[in-house]
Amino acid sequence: MKSVPHMTTAARFALAADERSHHSPRLRLKPKAPTTGYVDGAWWPTSRDLTAELPSLLAVLAVRLEGIERVTFNLSAWPPTGRRMAFGGGDVRLEDFRAQHSGTVTVIGAWDRHRVTLLVVPPETDPDLAQRMLMTAAHRGNKDSVETLLAGSGTPAEQDRAAAGDRGPVLAAPVGA
C-alpha cells in the first residue's frame, strides 16, 4: 500500500481496497464436486449496484454453467433493478425474492438449470476480512451457514483442524487478568 503522510483513514482504506482489487480475485468457487453446504463460493462486488456488478460475475460463471438463464437475489439487499439484463447476446432474467437470504445471489444456468449460490461479501468489508470470507466459503467441504460465513469466523486451516478433531492451540489468560 502506498504511504501518504496526511491521508485520512477512509482514504487509506479506499486505496488499499483499490490496490487489492487489482491483485486479488473477487470471486472464489468451490471445486467442481458434489454440492456441499449452503453456498458454492463467494463473491465480493465493488458496489451495491447489481446491474453494474453482474456482467463481470456472469462472464466467469457462464463458462461453468454453459450460459446464464437467470439470477435470483433478495429484494431488500439490492437497489431496484430491471426484470431483464442483456448479456452474452441474450437476456438474463433478474428475479428478486423476499425469501432468499440477503447474503446470497443465485445464478442459474441456461442448459441444465444447474445453479451456483454465492455468498455476497458486502462491498464495504475490510479487504483482509473479505479475502478470508472468500477463501472460507470456497473451501472444499465447507458447510458453514451464511450467517457464520458473513461473520467471518473460521479459515480453511481452522476448518481442516476442526474436521480432524484438533481444536488448535489452547490460549491461557495472562496472570492477574
User: Strand pairing of 115-120 and 104-109?
Assistant: antiparallel
The per-residue pLDDT for 171 is: 34
pLDDT for the residue 172: 34
What length is written for the chain?
Answer: 177
Residue 14 resides in a domain? no
What are the pLDDT tens digits along the chain (177 aa)? 455 455 555 555 555 545 444 445 699 999 987 777 899 999 999 999 999 999 999 999 999 999 999 999 999 999 999 999 999 889 999 999 999 999 999 999 988 889 999 999 999 999 999 999 999 999 998 999 999 999 986 544 444 544 454 433 333 333 343
Is 85 part of a structural domain of the chain? yes
Do the domain assignments include residue 99? Answer: yes
Asked whether residue 158 is domain-assigned, the answer is: no
Domain presence at residue 168: no
- Count of helices and strands (H, E) across the chain: 5, 7
Q: What is the pLDDT of residue 11?
A: 55
Helix (H) or strand (E) holding 143: none
Please check whether residue 45 lies inside any domain of the structure: yes
Answer whether residue 15 is part of any domain. no
- C-alpha closest to that of 120 among 138, 105, 137: 105
3 in a structural domain: no
Burial of 113 (0-12, 13-18, 19+ CB in 10 A): exposed
84 CB contacts (<8 Å, ≥6 apart)?
Answer: 91, 92, 93, 94
Q: Can you give the pLDDT at residue 36? A: 78
Domain span holding position 112: 26-142
Q: What is the pLDDT of residue 37?
A: 87
Number of domains in the chain: 1
R_g over Cα of the chain: 18
